[in-house]
Amino acid sequence: MAAKWDNDEVVQRFREYLQIPSVHPDIDYGDCVKFLQKQASELDLPVAVYEPVPNKPIVVITWEGLQPDLPTILLNSHMDVVPVYEEFWTYPPFGAVVTDDGYIYARGTQDMKSIGMMHLESVRRLKAAGVRLKRTVHISFVPDEEIGGVDGMKAFSLTPEFKNLNIGFGLDESAPNEHPSEILAFHGERTSRQIIVTCRGEPGHGSLLIPGTAGEKLHYMINKFMTLRAEEKKKADGNVWYGEVTTVNLTQIWGGVQINVLPESLSVSFDIRIAPQYDHDEFDQMISRWCEEAGEGVSFEYIVKNPQVKSTKIDGSVPFWEAMKKVVTDMGISVKCVICPGATDARYVRAQGIPAINFSPIMNTKLLIHAHDETIHIDVFKRGIDIIEKVVEAVANV
């Protein structure tokens, strides 16, 4: 490791967090909680640990504002990281090795322990400078985002403890951007729907042309879904942002008992992510209509049916967004705010009627989320702290 960073406390705190292997599956979050409690102690800030689900801790560090009755600011990040293929890494994925040219290699450097530390370091700087903010700031660290957040932010967002935080605006993760002076932000997400279509027909000998077979009905349904996919793909190929199109992907097909026996039943599964501008009820009705058209015995069921969550408005009606956009622009940085193509914990915050923006100030950086050799340059990380510091000050003084 490059020795020149040994005395850099900001880098060493970041490395210490990265070295905690909070990796799926079967994570023990105990070391993360201890690390964060230590940070709160150093900052002389109160810290609470909630467990709406056993062994799934929610850590909240609170910096009270001058007007604590005002709606507060939430800086959220998740403690968990995805698994690694260690044999494909240049350095140990939980070693947090710093190279001579200033890159830190570790799982979580982009997604998203870096952002959690940017939140903490920005508050550390503001407090050290004697700054007092109008609104209270809560820095939260949650579990299980990488497996859907059901036992993490979703569970927490439904508790009285979450409601008592009185959140008026939230920040969460977006993604790195290779552009040197543009931050990618998200103000909403597509809705995940995973379905299984089942087609039933008369069984019989494989040599016959019996009408209304399960295979014919399955063909009709697959054709409908794949035609929709082609239409949406055409939009994406035409440079429409990925989050603005509905993705449809066939993921499984199964059924039948033997190659020369017409099956009584065939099933197919689709992973669908519906863009926000679509009427989700009309989408359901469209699938029901296809089933009727395919013939008797065709039905579908949801394996995942997430509710539609309204996007945060970026039309000037949310003063927190306007404040953060202005302060970032004043730093000579542009913000591209779009719909997230994936899913984050911010959807659970928005579901409670709270405006939230996903914001990862990681620029001039190749996207390596969930990839081998996930890394961030120290200069990029520290620049992110600079930006978050200004953003926190701006939104907490709205």
Q: How many CB atoms lie under 10 A from the CB of residue 208?
A: 10
Query: How does 249-263 read in b/e, with b if 16+ C-beta sit within 10 Å?
Result: eeeeeebbeeeeebb
Active site residue 80: yes
Q: What phi and psi values does residue 205 have, to the nearest 5 degrees?
A: -75, 140
State the span(s) of the chain assigned CATH 3.40.630.10: 3-189+311-396
Angstrom distances, CA of residue 205 to CA of 166, 199, 209, 258, 261: 66, 18, 9, 10, 5
Q: List the chain pLDDT tens, one digit each, 398 residues.
A: 667 888 999 999 999 999 999 999 999 999 999 999 999 999 999 999 999 999 999 999 999 999 999 999 999 999 999 999 999 999 999 999 999 999 999 999 999 999 999 999 999 999 999 999 999 999 999 999 999 999 999 999 999 999 999 999 999 999 999 999 999 999 999 999 999 999 999 899 999 999 999 999 999 999 999 999 999 999 988 888 989 999 999 999 999 999 999 999 999 999 999 999 999 999 999 999 999 999 999 999 999 998 999 999 999 999 999 999 999 999 999 999 999 988 999 999 999 999 999 999 999 999 999 999 999 999 999 999 999 999 999 999 99
Angstrom distances, CA of residue 194 to CA of 39, 199, 343: 40, 17, 14
Task: Please state which of the four CATH numbers 3.20.20.70, 3.30.70.360, 3.30.200.20, 1.10.3720.10 is assigned to the domain occupying 191-275+277-305.
Answer: 3.30.70.360
State the span(s) of the chain assigned CATH 3.30.70.360: 191-275+277-305
Angstrom distances, CA of residue 394 to CA of 135, 322, 324, 325: 10, 10, 6, 9
H helices then E strands: how many in the chain?
A: 10, 17
Are 308 and 225 contacting, i.e. CB atoms less than 8 angstroms apart? no
User: Pick the catalytic residue: 111, 121, 144, 145?
Assistant: 145
DSSP code for 13 = H
Peptide bond into 112 cis (omega under 30): yes
Active site residue 282: no
User: Pick the catalytic residue: 80, 173, 189, 374?
Assistant: 80
Q: What phi and psi values does residue 115 have, to the nearest 5 degrees?
A: -70, -40
Angstrom distances, CA of residue 313 to CA of 19, 137, 319, 392: 37, 22, 10, 19
Task: Please state which of the four CATH numbers 3.90.950.20, 3.40.50.2300, 3.60.110.10, 3.40.630.10 is assigned to the domain occupying 3-189+311-396.
Answer: 3.40.630.10
